[in-house]
Amino acid sequence: MELVSVIRHKVLTEGVPIRDVARQLGLSRNTIRRYVRAKVVPVPRPRSPPRAAPAREQVAEAAAAIWASRRTFTAGKQQLTATRLWELLRDDGHDVGARTLEEISTALQARIDAQHARDPARTAAWEDERRALRAVPEPFDGRQVRSVQLRHHASHAVAGGHYSIPSRWCGHTVDLFVGTNTVSFARGDEVVCHPRVPFGGRSVDYRHLLLPLSRKPQALRQVVHELVAQFGQPWPALWEALRACYAPDEIEAARRLAPWLERADRQGLARIAPRIRAAIADGTLVSPPHHNVGAEDLAEVSAALRLYAIGAPDLRRYDALLEAARCSA
């Protein structure tokens, strides 16, 4: 606050008029009067040193290198997310963790318990009081409840956090339950529950996105590591086998993975898992699985319909119809 001292010295000690001081310093006369009439001169507080971040300092160079090379494995509108950066750092052997409120709460509770245990008198008093307490009633459901109209993409934002929803729910109205630790969506008897994330965070269940990702290999490439880790075996083994077949082109590997996601969406993760293991074992994963039609994929045709023969499509017939329509006109 050197400026305040200068103002007070000019006016109170040197006797310079307030108008002249205001003109010299480029301030309003009201500001000059306020500083002159102040009984206490504000003293600047020393700034506290920034909090140490040892984990961040250790991985800063590695994170900068990943950021500089991000264009080699992202394309178009795809971006390097914080979660993906954290995974890449973990893959490189760096011991880094993600921020969650649950970890902070657990650490704080452990500290309070340790402090309480160091005072025997307080511990004994608490034991006496606890025996006299009534039984804990059923917990009150304090969640905020409202209906929301979902957009045509499989996610919804709640208080700055983004949560995945089943893609088949897009465009429908669902019930939203916002609690302290959870965010839930309900449509009929179906309920989707996510742990609550901080502002800017996201919680994604990739079972909700099987069909959309099967149609967007570029987007699938960006999240494939999170997806296979969430699904567990044999999905990581399938991805590694596809990467080995099509290295270094991971986009092509993602294209080959996409049909497996489409089939998992129709049949379920549990039913598709044995087929993935068999494909890895015999090497048939190199061709898209939807080209190999199994017996369970064939529809039963009635005896009456078997009498009809269906010809192959021929665009020349369409051209003939257009020509006939022109002539008749």
221-232 pLDDT, tens digit each: 989 999 999 999
For residues 181 and 244, state if they share a domain: no
Query: Are the beta carbons of 217 and 258 closer than 8 angstroms?
Result: yes
pLDDT confidence tier of residue 80, bands split at 50, 70 and 90: low
Secondary structure (3-state) at 186: strand
Query: Are the beta carbons of 68 and 61 closer than 8 angstroms?
Result: no
List, in sequence order, the alpha helices (H) in the chain: 2-8, 18-25, 29-37, 54-68, 82-91, 101-117, 120-132, 210-214, 217-231, 235-246, 250-267, 269-282, 315-328
Kindly state whether residue 174 falls inside one of the protein's structural domains.
Answer: yes
- The residue from 168, 184, 204 where one domain ends is 204
Q: Which tokens go with 138?
A: 């059923």
- Please name which of 238, 270, 269, 278 lies closest in space to residue 256, comparing C-alpha atoms: 238
**Residue 175 belongs to domain spanning:** 144-204
For residues 197 and 222, state if they share a domain: no
For residues 218 and 193, state if they share a domain: no
For residues 247 and 200, state if they share a domain: no
pLDDT confidence tier of residue 38, bands split at 50, 70 and 90: confident
Kindly state whether residue 312 falls inside one of the protein's structural domains.
Answer: no
Could you tell me which residues come within 8 angstroms of residue 289 by beta carbon, excluding any fewer than 6 positions away? 259, 260, 263, 275, 279
Cα separation of 260 and 219, whole Å?
Answer: 15
Convert the pLDDT of each residue in 235-271 to its tens digit: 999 999 998 888 777 888 899 999 999 999 999 999 9
Residue for token digits 């044995």? 274
Question: Would you tell me how many other CB atoms lie within 10 Å of the CB of residue 150?
Answer: 19
For residues 233 and 287, state if they share a domain: yes
More confident residue, 45 or 286: 45
Kindly state whether residue 237 falls inside one of the protein's structural domains.
Answer: yes
For residues 220 and 148, state if they share a domain: no
Kindly state whether residue 252 falls inside one of the protein's structural domains.
Answer: yes
Kindly state whether residue 61 falls inside one of the protein's structural domains.
Answer: no
For residues 171 and 214, state if they share a domain: no
Kindly state whether residue 42 falls inside one of the protein's structural domains.
Answer: no
Secondary structure (3-state) at 140: coil
Mean pLDDT of 35-44: 71
Question: How many domains is the chain built from?
Answer: 3
For residues 224 and 284, state if they share a domain: yes
